[in-house]
Chain A
Amino acid sequence: MNVNLTGADFLGILPIIILSGFGVVLMVLSVFSQRFHRMTIPYLGVVGIILALISNFFLIGKDYLAFQNMVRVDWLTVAFNFIFLVTAGLSLLLTTSYSEQEHIEFIEFTPLLLFSTVGMMLMGSAQNLMMIFLGLETMSIALYVMAGFRRNHRESLEAALKYFLLGAFATGFLLYGIALIYGVVGSTSFTAIAQYLNKNALSPDLLFLVGTGLLIVGFGFKVALVPFHMWTPDVYQGSPMPVTAYMAVGAKAAGFAAIVRFFTLSAAQIAYQWVDVLWILAVLTMTVGNVLALVQKDIKRMLAYSSIAHAGYLLVGIVADNDLTVPAVMFYLVAYLLMNLGAFAIALIVSGNQERRTRIEYFKGLAETQPMLALAMAICMVSLAGFPPTIGFMGKFYLFSAALYSGYVWLAIIGVINSLISVYYYIGVVVAMYMHKPVDERRIEQVVPGVGLVVLVAVVGIFIFGIFPGSLAGLFG
C-alpha cells in the first residue's frame, strides 16, 4: 500500500487544515490571559475563517480525488466550503454582541465553532461514507456543546440534551445504513458504490436500498425533515441565538452537502428507488413546517419551523434530479444563508439582554423606533416568503423550475401553495413592525458593529442576487 501523499492532497483540504489549526491554537490561547482574549478570540476566529476563504480560492477550477479517494476536490467542494465559511464568519460576528450581554464565558465558543465548521467542510468534500460520518460527528458534537452554552438557562441545557440524545439516536441509524451499504458493496467509497450501481442499476440488493433508506433518516435528521424534525423547535429556541443561526444555516447546508454528494451524484443510477420517498418527505416537510409556523408567537420558534419548511423546498430540488438540481440547491442554500442570518441577526438585536424579548410582539412598532432595522427585517421576511425581487424568490424559482423540468408539476404546485401559506406568518412580523404601536416607545436597541455588518451583508446580498441572480447561478451552473 502506498501512503505517499503529494502537495495536491494537502492543498485539497487546505481550508480545513487552516481552520483546524486556528481552532487548536485559539483553544490553547483562550486559557491564557482570559480577560484579554474574551474579546479578541472571536475576531481571531474571523481572521482564521478569512484565511481559509482565501485558501479556498486556490481550489477553484480543480477536479481531483485526494487522500486515496477519500476526499473530492471539485467546484462543489469550493462552493460548499464557501457557504460554510461565510456562515461561520457571520455567526461569529453575531457572538460579539452576545458575550458582552450574557456575561457568560464564551471563550471556548470560537474554537468549537471552528471545529464544527471543519466537520461541515469534511462533509462537503467527502467521497466516502466514512468521511461523511466523520464530518457529521465532528460538526454535531461541537454543536451539542454550543447549544448548551447558556449554562444558566434551563432551556439552553434542555436544548443541548435533547439535541444530543436524538442526534445520537439518528447517528445510530446513519451508521447502520452505512454498514448495510458496506455489506453489499464491500466498500464505503462513493466511487465503488457508483461502480456497483452501474452494474446493478435495475436490481440493486435489497439491503443496499434499506441502507439508503437509513441514510435518508440520518441526513434527514440533520436537515430537519419531517418526521425527523421534532427536535428543531425546542433546540432552536433554547440555544443561544448565534448558535441557532449557525445551526439553522450551517448544519442544514452540511446535511444537503451529504445528500447531494451521495444521492444526487453517487446514487443517481437508482434515483427511481429514492425519489418517491423524498417526494413524500418534501411534501410533508414543507407542509408541516409552514402550517405549524402559523401559530408560533416566538421569533426563534417561528424561524425554526420556517427552517423546516425550507428544508422541504430544498428537497424539491433534490427530487427533481436533473441538471438543474445541483445549481438550484446551491443557489437556494446561499439564499437561505443570507435571509436567515439576516433575520436572526435582527432578532438578536431585538431580543436584547439575556434574550428575554424573543416574542414576536416585541417587534411591534420597530418601524417607528428603528426604521432601518425594521426595513432590513422586512426585507428578510419578504425574501423568506419568496417575493420578487429578492433572492428568496429566485431561489424558489430555480428549485420549482427544476421540479417542473422533470415533470413534477404537482410537487411544484404544492410548493407554491406552501409558500403562499408561509406569507401569512412572515408578513405577520412585518405587520407587527409597521402596523402596531411600539410596546416600549423609548427603547432603542443597540446595534453592535459586528451584528450590523451581518445585517448589511444579508440585505445587500438578498437584493443583489435577487436582481442579478445570474451572477451567482452562473458559478453553479
Chain B
Amino acid sequence: MESYIWFIPFLPLLGALINGIFGSALKEKAGLVANVAIFGSFVLAVKAFLAVARGATFNGDLFHWIVAGQFKAAFGVQIDPLSAIMMLVVTGVGFLIHLYSIGYMHGDPGVGRYFAYLNLFVFAMLLLVMGNNLLLLFLGWEGVGLCSYLLIGFWYHKPSAAKAGLKAFIVNRIGDVGFLIGMFLIFTTVGSLAYADIEANVAQLVNAGVLTAACLLLFVGATGKSAQFPLYVWLPDAMEGPTPVSALIHAATMVTAGVYMVARFNFLFSQSATAMAVVTIVGTFTALYAATMALVNNDIKRVLAYSTISQLGYMFIGVGVGAYAAGIFHLMTHAFFKALLFLGAGSVMHALADETNIQKMGGLYHKIKITAITFMVAWLAISGIPPFSGFFSKDEILAKAFAYHPAIWFLGLVGAVLTAFYMSRLVFVTFFGQSRVEPEVEAHIHESPPVMTIPLMVLAVLSAIGGFVGVPAILGGENRFEHFLEPVFVGAEEHLHFAHVPHSLEYGLMLISILAALAGIGLAYGMYIKGSPDPDRLAQRFSGLYKLLYNKYYVDEIYDALVVQPLLSFSRFLWRVVDNGLIDGLVNLTGRLGLLISQVLRRIQTGYVQNYAAVFVVGVLIILAYYLFS
C-alpha cells in the first residue's frame, strides 16, 4: 500500500497547481485536468479500500515535519477502515461533483480558478481524513476552511457572496480557537499529537483531569466546522457559492469533518460521559432546531442547508451516544443523498435561469424528468423510507439513541417527521402542482446535459442501494459496515453502556420510525397537493409561529437591531434570549468590541512626538517601579 498511498492526496494538489497557474490559459480544459486528477485519486482510494478490506492497514510517515525539542510531528498517514471509508466518500462523491461541475460551470470566466480551488479542497480534505496526527488533521481542517471560504465568495461580484464568505470564515475561526486550545491541552499533557500516542496515553489525560475539557474544546471546533448550534449561522449563508460547491463542501464532505473527528477520537470521548452527553444534546437540539427552520423556507438551497445542519445533528447523536459506526454510516449515506439533492437543485436552477424560490417553480416533473426522478430518490432516502439508504443509517442511530436514552430517541423521531415533511414539501412544491414559473423563463426550461445528469443518476443509485451495506441483524443482514469499522472503535466499547433493547422492541421502534416518515410525507401531500389542510390558512392561524420560523428565528433582524437601533434592541434582545439571536449577536458583538477598542486606542496615536515620549516614560516608570517595589 505504501507505494501508491501518497498519490491519493497529492494528485488533486497537482491538479490544483496546474489549474492555479495555467487556469486562465486552459479555460474549459481546466475541468478535464481537475477531473483526471481526482479520478486518479479515486481509483487509488478504491485500491486502498480493497487492501483494507483484506485486513491490511498502514501507518507511516513520509518525513518528519516538525521537530521541536522532544516533540516530533511527522507528515504521516494512517489507513484504517475509518479513513478508507472517508477517502472513498471524499474522492468518489468528489469526483461525481467535479464531473457535474464541468457542465454547471460551463462558460464561467473563472472556471480555472474554480477547479483549482475545488481540487485544493479535495487535497486538504484528504489530508484531514488520512493524517495520523492531530496536527495534520488541523492542517487539513484549516485548508478546507480556506477553500470553503474562497468558494463561497467565488462570485464576488455579488456583495452577498463576499459577505457570506467572510461570515463563514470568522465563525469558523471562533470554533478553531477552541480546537487549538484543546490541541494544546492534549499536547501539554501527552507530549505528542499522534493518534497512536494519544490513545496510548489516555490515562495521562484522565489523571490530569483534563480529558473532558479536551474533548469539549475539540468539540467546539467541530460545532464550527460542522455547523452545529450555536455556530451554525454561517452555513445557510454559504449557499451563495456555486451549487456544486454546496453539494461537495457544505453537504457531503467538509461539514462532516467534525463527525469524523469525534469518531477518530472515540477512545477519548468514550471515557468522558459528560463530553458524550454534550455532543448528544447539542446534536439532538440542532437536529430539531434546524429542521423547524427548513419547514417554511422558500429557497430551495436554504431548505437543503437547514436540512444539512439537521442531518449533521443526527450524526452527532450517533457519535455522541457511542454508536460511532452508525454515525459514520449516516455520514456516508447522507453524502450520497444530500449531494444528489444539491446537484438536483443545481439542475433545477440551471433549467430555470438560476431561480431559487420554490414558490416560482411547480409542475417541473414532466419537463425535467431525470432531475425530478433522481431528486425523488434522494427525497425518499432522506425521509427514511425503506429500502432507501437513509432508512438504514438513520434507524441505526435512532435505535442506539433509544438504548442511550429514550428521550433522545423521541426527539430524533420528531426530527424525522419534520424532515419527511419539509423534504416532501420541497418535492411537491417544486415538481408537482400548478406551474408558477414566470412565462419568459418557462419557455426555456430544459433538462441538463448528460455530463450533469450522469452524476445525478450514479448518486441516485447509491442513495437507493447504499444502505444495504449496513442492514441490521434483525432484518436478516450482517451489518457489514459496522463490522468493517469495528477495529477502529473496539477500544471504546468497554466504556460504553447501552441498555439492552429486546428484538421485539427494536422491530417496534423501526415500525414507528417508518410510520413517522410516512406521516410526514402524508401531511405534506395533503397540504401541498390536495390543499387540505390549506398551508396558507395554517400559516395564518399560527402566524406567530410561522413568522418565527420563516424569519429563521429572527437571526438577521437581531443583528440589524443591535447595529441600527441599539436602544430598541435591548427589549427585543431580552425577548429573544431563548433563541439563537443571543449567540449571533455575541459573535457580532465581539467583532464590534474589537473595533471599538481599536477606535479608542488610536486616539492615543496623536502624531505628536511629545505624547509618544510621554507614553514611553510611563512605560519606563512602570518597569522601574516593578523592580524597585517588588
Contacts and interface: CB of A to CB of B under 8 A. Distances in A.
Do A and B touch directly, given a CB cutoff of 8 Å in the complex? yes
B365 interface: no
Contacts of A371: 24
A398 B142 CA distance: 18
Contacts, number: 154
A229 B64 CA distance: 39
Nearest to B153: A435
Contact of A230 (B156, B180, B605, B623): B605
B208 interface: no
Contact of B618 (A227, A323, A413): A227
Interface stretch (B307-315, B422-430, B506-514, B607-615): B607-615
Nearest to B136: A388
Interface string B581-605: 0000000000100110111011011
Interface stretch (B181-189, B465-473, B556-564): B181-189
A323 to B, nearest CB: 6
Contacts of A401: 68-69, 71, 187
A221 B616 CA distance: 9
* Most A-side CB within 10 Å, residue of B187, B591, B605: B605
A432 to B, nearest CB: 10
Interface in A344-369: none
B69 A405 contact: yes
B66 A277 contact: no
A60 interface: no
A169 B616 contact: yes
B611 A434 contact: no
Nearest to A284: B619
A294 to B, nearest CB: 5
Interface residues of A, number: 72
A431 B63 contact: no
B619 A227 contact: yes
A262 to B, nearest CB: 15
Contacts of B577: none
A388 B150 CA distance: 16
Interface in A159-217: 161-162, 165-166, 169-170, 173, 206, 209-210, 213-214, 216-217
Contacts of A288: 601
Given A162-B612, A277-B626, A294-B598, A324 B69 contact: yes
B184 A404 contact: yes
B190 to A, nearest CB: 12
Interface stretch (A105-113, A139-147, A419-427): A419-427
B623 A291 contact: no
B616 A473 contact: no
A220 B162 CA distance: 40
A431 B167 CA distance: 12
A474 interface: yes
Task: Name the prevailing secondary structure of the B interface residues.
Answer: helix
A434 B613 CA distance: 41
B143 A388 contact: yes
A230 B611 contact: yes
A427 B162 CA distance: 12
Contacts of A434: 150, 153, 156
A464 interface: no
Given A210-B624, A217-B620, A413-B184, A169 B613 contact: yes
Interface stretch (B169-177, B230-238, B334-342, B486-494): B169-177
Contact of A412 (B24, B64, B184): B184
B570 interface: no
Interface string A279-321: 0000000001001101100000000000000000000000000
Interface string B57-86: 000000111111101000000000000000
Interface string B619-630: 110011011100
Nearest to A372: B21
A183 to B, nearest CB: 15
Interface in B325-371: none
A295 B595 contact: yes
B139 A470 contact: no
A375 B598 contact: no
Contact of B609 (A165, A322, A394): A165
Contact of B162 (A209, A233, A294, A435): A435
A294 B628 contact: no
Contact of B616 (A170, A382, A427): A170
Given A217-B620, A292-B605, A435 B165 contact: yes
Nearest to B610: A165
B20 interface: yes
A233 B605 contact: yes
A469 to B, nearest CB: 6
Interface in A324-343: 324, 327-328
B166 interface: yes
Contact of B594 (A209, A291, A427): A291
Interface string B77-113: 0000000000000000000000000000000000000
Contacts of B202: none
A292 B66 contact: no
Interface in A397-448: 397-398, 400-402, 404-405, 409, 412-413, 416-417, 420-421, 423-424, 427, 431, 434-437
Given A217-B620, A420-B173, A427-B169, A387 B146 contact: yes
B173 A423 contact: yes
Nearest to A216: B623
> Which 3 A/B pairs are nearest by Cβ-Cβ distance?
A435-B156, A230-B612, A227-B619
15 contacts: A206-B628, A213-B626, A216-B623, A227-B615, A228-B616, A230-B612, A292-B602, A327-B68, A388-B139, A394-B66, A416-B181, A431-B166, A435-B153, A436-B156, A473-B67
Interface of A: 161-162, 165-166, 169-170, 173, 206, 209-210, 213-214, 216-217, 220-221, 226-228, 230-231, 233-234, 273, 276-277, 288, 291-292, 294-295, 322-324, 327-328, 371, 375, 382, 387-389, 394, 397-398, 400-402, 404-405, 409, 412-413, 416-417, 420-421, 423-424, 427, 431, 434-437, 467-470, 473-474, 477
Given A423-B173, A468-B63, 6 more contacts: A170-B616, A213-B627, A277-B626, A327-B68, A387-B142, A420-B173
